[in-house]
Amino acid sequence: MPRNVEIKARVRDWERTLQECCNQSKTAGELIKQRDVFFNSSHGRLKLRDFQDGQGQLIYYERPDLVGPKLSDYSISNTTHPADLERVLTQALGVRGSVVKERLLFLVGQTRIHLDKVQGLGEFLELEVVLTDSQTLQDGDIIAQNLMKKLGIQPDDLITGAYMDLLKGQHTTP
């Protein structure tokens, strides 16, 4: 199962953070519109990501709800029929809720930086350090910590859980 080290943080200064993401990646970022539908799951989290263009991904992941860098194990299956898949999964499992966001994607080395505007929540940043088979959690943690410093992420900006959890009021943000 692929693994990454992930952090999620509230963005307090969008323009400054955007500029630093552009500086670090040497790009303007890629705009991606997403609607994530979370399904009831007895283990981990299961979501269908609809890219609003006929493409989607079914994503299952397990990640502890901790502040700061944390290990995430995940599996992804691509689909060209997200609406059909959503209908079947809704009937089989029931829907926990959905998250609508606009995401700017930046790539820095082996790290995906997501600068997100989430409907009903606000502005956030996610770092996903994609680990190779030979890398440890500690290797990913070092990479994440270094990028957090460069991007100006403070410890009190870090949040736990998923956007879905925040929307449901199960976690709080700083």
User: What string of pLDDT tens digits covers the 174 residues of the chain?
Assistant: 789 999 999 999 999 999 999 999 999 999 999 999 999 999 999 999 999 999 999 999 998 887 778 888 999 999 999 999 999 999 999 999 999 999 999 999 999 999 999 999 999 999 999 999 999 999 999 999 999 999 999 999 999 888 998 998 865 444
168: helix, coil or strand? coil
State the pTM of this model. 0.88
Domains in the chain (CATH in brackets) are 3-167 (2.40.320.10)
Which residue type, as a one-letter code, is found at position 163? Y
60-66 contact pairs (CB < 8 A, 24+): 63/6, 65/160, 65/161, 65/165, 65/171, 66/160
Q: Give the H or E element holding residue 39.
A: strand 30-39
Give pLDDT, residue 160.
Answer: 87
For residues 173 and 100, what is the distance between their CA atoms, to the nearest angstrom?
Answer: 18
Give pLDDT, residue 170.
Answer: 62
26: helix, coil or strand? coil
Kindly tell me the burial class for residue 69, based on how many C-beta atoms sit within 10 Å of its own C-beta (0-12, 13-18, 19 or more). buried
